[in-house]
Chains A and B, each alone.
Chain A
Amino acid sequence: AQSVAQPEDQVNVAEGNPLTVKCTYSVSGNPYLFWYVQYPNRGLQFLLKYITGDNLVKGSYGFEAEFNKSQTSFHLKKPSALVSDSALYFCAVRDNNQAGTALIFGKGTTLSVSS
């Protein structure tokens, strides 16, 4: 079964500092990985995805993610955090054993950026 793990329930960073939100995956075959962000009482917003190609993926709002096959990781990064980045972040994977199965989400990581 495909799965993703987010080892940190919460990440705290100061505004202006770089941030990293961690995600590791377990899939059979090629991984198709996604990051979403959720602000309070809102739906999920798509940030970026890795399908194939360059290991560094750039996405919305200045976020990027680094795919590392040997470490089975797909960590979300941003060079300089903003207070407005405070939200709940989900890593997700598509189930590629059954094409078209919906996204499988990690448990989520709450990012708190202090001013």
Chain B
Amino acid sequence: DTEVTQTPKHLVMGMTNKKSLKCEQHMGHRAMYWYKQKAKKPPELMFVYSYEKLSINESVPSRFSPECPNSSLLNLHLHALQPEDSALYLCASSQDRGIDTEAFFGQGTRLTVV
């Protein structure tokens, strides 16, 4: 099983809403990532979790709040977002933080902020 599952696939939220994106993997991977991707652009790293601890925060605004409840799950809590936050949010995982390990990506959540 080389699958990373993200839910929901699509999300429309108002600027005053609170919502969460969910990501799950059962490959025993110990590193998990959140990326943000605008149309036709490369993914931009947001957060890295290693062994369930936040190891990298790429200066992401506090309206995005990650959470790693256990080694298989990664959440991204959203609050008071702006229209410019509309994007495809990708979750990925890798075996560990090793330099030679590839990452496996989920299908993404298409977020629209209205």
Contact = CB atoms under 8 A, between A and B. Distances in A.
Interface of A: 32, 34, 36, 41-46, 49, 51, 88, 90, 94, 96, 99-103, 105-108, 110
A100 B100 contact: no
Contacts of B100: 32, 49, 51, 94
Interface string B75-101: 000000000000010101000111110
A44 B6 CA distance: 13
A110 B42 CA distance: 12
Contacts of B105: 36, 43-46
A46 B104 contact: yes
Interface string B27-55: 00001010100001111010010100001
Nearest to A6: B42
Contact of B90 (A34, A44, A88): A44
Contacts, number: 66
B67 interface: no
A39 to B, nearest CB: 10
Given A100-B31, A102-B103, A43 B98 contact: no
A106 B43 CA distance: 9
A34 B92 CA distance: 15
B38 to A, nearest CB: 11
Contact of B107 (A43, A46, A49): A43
A109 B73 CA distance: 32
Q: Which of B88, B104, B105 has the largest count of A CB atoms less than 10 A from its CB?
A: B105
Nearest to B106: A43
A102 B48 contact: yes
Given A94-B100, A100-B55, A107 B45 contact: no
A88 B105 CA distance: 15
Nearest to A91: B42
A96 B98 CA distance: 9
Contacts of A101: 48, 56, 97
